[in-house]
């Protein structure tokens, strides 16, 4: 009655955690522009 069971396999294509949304140059530019904007805003607020 004490059988060893193998764990169920799961295909790697379904196990991926994320989806790349920065595929186009425009989306990348908007994303990095937002990051740079946050850094600039934090520096301005720190100096004020």
Distance, in Å, from the CA atom of 34 to the CA atom of 42, rounded to the nearest integer, reads 12
pLDDT digits (tens, 9 = 90+) for 17-26: 777 788 999 9
pLDDT digits (tens, 9 = 90+) for 28-44: 999 999 999 999 999 99
For tokens 């990051």, name the residue.
Answer: 35
pTM above 0.85, yes or no: no
Beta carbons within 8 Å of 31's beta carbon, 6+ residues apart: 22
């Amino acid at each position: 009655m004490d059988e060893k069971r193998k764990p169920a396999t799961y295909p790697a294509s379904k196990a991926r955690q994320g989806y790349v949304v920065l595929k186009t140059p425009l989306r990348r530019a908007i994303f990095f522009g937002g990051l740079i904007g946050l850094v600039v805003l934090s520096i301005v607020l720190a100096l004020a």
